[in-house]
Structure 1
Amino acid sequence: MKNSEKLLALISSRGWKVATLAEKADIKYTTLKSLIDRDLRNITVAQALSISQALDVKVSDFIQEAAPMTDENSYLNPSNGFKIKEAKSVYETTPSNKRSLSILNYYGQISAGELTSINSIEKEDVIELPKSMLGKYADRPGAFMMRVNGDSMDKIIPNNSYVVCIPVEEHELHDNDIVIYSYNNESSMKRFSVRGDYVVFSPESNNPKYFDFAISKDTESEVEILAKVILYAVTLG
């Protein structure tokens, strides 16, 4: 069964139309229709995840399993999105230790705006991404993905984008890293820097309501850096 046929079957099983899924996944109808017409070729990470969330299924339920990255046959290429393998899945013949995939926990939304309770963040799914996308962090323990909720970083990372993050030690933090931090048991995503005696978390937003949050190094223990962002995916159009 083709990828588009799998997706259409999932849509039909819920009594939906393509337009219904487009609305629930926050994807333009014409964009989704074009993706289906092309058997989901060149679908982006963000689009695939939005569709899987809307349908409450895994990406692999409507897209063939990922093959190891090559020039001719890649599951996900940062420059052009998914390329679906049309031949028989190599998972049937490739030993597991040669699969070039990283497995990440997928959590709920992270606030890129007002602080949000860290207790509300729970694991929702498991995501597979090619190790080539994560570079030197491909085998980093604890890497995870979240969906951005808010516009405090929208000059760089728009609302509803997806971010891949890794837990970090203090010595791994650098000025201008984008981090997820917790303050008084609430969390947010901002750009990190050290300015004199202060640790500063700065927005990069088109919305003027956001401002720097600075905390003295003397009370720095009240802030916990949970992770830093190493990759993000944005839906275009």
Structure 2
Amino acid sequence: MMSKVATTGQRLKEIMNETGMKQVDILNKSLPFQKSLEISMGKSALSQYVNDVQEPDQQRIYLLAQTLDVNEAWLMGYNVNKIKIDAETYIATPSPTTELPYYGTVSAGGFEYASVDPDLMQVPTHLIKDNNSYFILKTNGDSMNKVIANGHYVIVQDIRDGNYTLKNNDILIFKSGSEYTMKRVRKTDTMLHLEPDSYINEFETQSFEINDCLDVEIIGKVIYSFREFN
């Protein structure tokens, strides 16, 4: 059974120590892959990944795995073989899956209505932890496209049981009335800020006074994003 034993930052540092590569070398080596895969990655983003400030999304994991010629799951920190397996010569054993409720789209812009009647989707069991409630949403919009592209699915941990401690920079699902949105969160002593993370400058931070945001409810924390290829 796969389990996570390291962070992506630790894996990147391991490669750098083994090869003598620096961050700039990884970035330069990635440029042809960025062009062919149409996946961008800048100097600042790579530095955040190496130093575990931010986890790369699935697109950047794929980009880095191709650049460094390593297994994606290994790069994510799982206890698997580091060597990338050729898909044409490897017959994979199907991974155990778990069925999660899928509630349709969630806005990555302003607050929008989301369905309350879920379908079901299968996801690899290793992506979730036991004893927690999860559900799936599909991103609608570009306000988070630096980390979660429009059309990507997100696995959300339901945190309405009260055990969650708000951390700045977490990506959360918020509810206001019957409408929902997905944003990074930043909290000060007096304000709650819902911040976009986009390559498009038109999106603005939504700010609420702590003492006057009773109608804004935190529903869940985004723990994983993925794209489905049909």
> TM tier, shorter chain?
0.5 to 0.7
Q: Is the 8 A contact 2:133 2:157 kept in 1?
A: yes
Aligned to 1:126: 121
Aligned to 1:142: 133
Q: Judging changes above 3 Å, is the alpha-carbon distance between structure 1 residues 174 and 117 closer, same or farther for their aligned structure 2 residues?
A: same
Secondary structure at the counterpart of residue 218 of structure 1:
helix
Q: Displacement of 1:85 after TM fit?
A: 8.3
Does structure 1 residue 152 correspond to structure 2 residue 148? no
Q: Is the 8 A contact 1:175 1:194 kept in 2?
A: yes
Does structure 1 residue 116 correspond to structure 2 residue 116? no
Secondary structure at the counterpart of residue 172 of structure 1:
coil
Distance 1:121 1:234 in 2: 22
Aligned to 2:98: 102
Q: Judging changes above 3 Å, is the alpha-carbon distance between structure 1 residues 204 and 71 closer, same or farther for their aligned structure 2 residues?
A: closer
Root-mean-square deviation (Å): 3.5
Aligned residue runs from structure 1 range 47-196, under 5 A: 71=80, 86=91, 100-118=96-114, 120-131=115-126, 133-134=127-128, 138-168=129-159, 169=162, 171-196=164-189
Secondary structure at the counterpart of residue 203 of structure 2:
coil
Q: Is the 8 A contact 1:180 1:229 kept in 2?
A: yes
Q: Displacement of 1:100 after TM fit?
A: 4.7
Runs ≥4 in structure 1, deviation > 3 angstroms?
69-72, 82-87, 99-102
Structure 2 gap segments, 5+ residues each: 1-36, 38-57, 60-77
Q: Is the 8 A contact 1:157 1:234 kept in 2?
A: no
The residue identity in structure 1 corresponding to 2:197 is E
Aligned residue runs from structure 1 range 203-222, under 5 A: 203-222=196-215
The percent of aligned pairs where both chains have the same amino acid is 25
Give the paired residue count.
Answer: 151
Q: Is the 8 A contact 2:173 2:220 kept in 1?
A: yes
Distance 1:104 1:83 in 2: 30
The residue identity in structure 2 corresponding to 1:104 is L
Distance 1:167 1:161 in 2: 19
Q: TM-score, normalised by structure 1?
A: 0.54
Distance 1:154 1:190 in 2: 11
The residue identity in structure 2 corresponding to 1:109 is T
Q: Is the 8 A contact 1:147 1:162 kept in 2?
A: yes
Secondary structure at the counterpart of residue 198 of structure 2:
coil
Secondary structure at the counterpart of residue 221 of structure 1:
coil
Structure 1 gap segments, 5+ residues each: 1-30, 32-44, 47-68, 73-78, 91-98
Secondary structure at the counterpart of residue 98 of structure 2:
strand
Aligned to 1:198: 191
Q: Displacement of 1:162 after TM fit?
A: 1.2
Q: Judging changes above 3 Å, is the alpha-carbon distance between structure 1 residues 102 and 115 closer, same or farther for their aligned structure 2 residues?
A: same
Distance 2:192 2:135 in 1: 25
